[in-house]
Amino acid sequence: MIRFKLGEMIEKKQFSEGRRITINEVAAATGLNRMTLSKILNLKGYGTGTETIDKLCSYFGCRVEDLMVHMDDVDEPPV
């Protein structure tokens, strides 16, 4: 499963800039839909396209691996 670290990236940017950053601000700056960002933040295992990932990496000035991480599906029963 891919886990997005969007919340952590927002917190890091808030700390470095010394101000609060909202989802609406990220949406406006990236051109992404606010609902998409909310799903990335709140839905475990949410999948999105490479264009969204690219826009978020550009906004945060980060690499893909800073924004997302692969995790083993330990909760899934073996097939």
User: pLDDT digit string (tens) for 26-36?
Assistant: 999 999 999 99
Please tell me the pTM assigned to this model.
0.84
Evaluate if residue 79 carries a pLDDT over 60.
no
How far apart CA 26 and CA 75 sit, in angstroms, is 31
Evaluate if residue 74 carries a pLDDT over 70.
no
User: pLDDT digit string (tens) for 10-49?
Assistant: 999 999 999 999 999 999 999 999 999 999 999 988 889 9
How far apart CA 46 and CA 62 sit, in angstroms, is 20
- How many percent of the chain have pLDDT more than 70? 92
Q: Set out the domains of the chain in order of their start, with CATH numbers.
A: 2-68 (1.10.260.40)
pLDDT for the residue 30: 97
